[in-house]
Amino acid sequence: MAEESQKKFFLMKTGVIGLALLILIFWIFNLRNVWRIDQAMTVKNGTDEWSELKADLNETLGNIQSQLNQIEEKNKERTAAAGSALLTDLVKETERLPLEPTSATTTATSTVVAATGTIIIAY
């Protein structure tokens, strides 16, 4: 009976190891095919993804450039409007001034009061 039990145990052990080796061998052969398919898809998808990313980046940069151009145009318009308004205000101010030049006159006198060195200046 012990002999029969050892024989069954050996057959079971051999069967499990054989089945495991069979599964391992099929898995290794299939793994090569999986890697080839993954590499082909990665190269194809990688190229497609780079093209898509490049197109998105170009589109975004184009949008940024157009918005910067619009801002620059608005700033030029504002600067031109502010400059013309300043010139208009200056012309109005100069027109309001009298045409004949006037001069301001002041007289200053000084008087020595005493010999102590004190000087009083009167206007």
Question: Which tens digits make up the pLDDT trace of 72-123?
Answer: 998 888 887 777 777 788 888 888 877 666 665 666 666 655 555 666 666 5
- Residue 116 is classified by DSSP as T
pLDDT at 3 over 80: yes
Question: Three-state SS for 113?
Answer: coil
Q: In terms of pLDDT, which residue wins out, 87 or 15?
A: 15
User: 17 vs 98, which has greater pLDDT?
Assistant: 17
Per the structure block, which two tokens stand in for 105? 């006159």
Amino acid 91: pLDDT: 81
Task: Judge whether residue 70 has pLDDT over 90.
Answer: yes
pLDDT of residue 77: 84
pTM (global) more than 0.75:
no
**Predicted pLDDT at 121:** 64
Tokens found for residue 91: 């012309």
With beta carbons less than 8 A apart as the criterion, state whether 39 and 47 touch.
no
Task: Quick: pLDDT tens for 34-62.
Answer: 777 666 666 666 677 788 889 999 999 99
d(CA 33, CA 94): 90
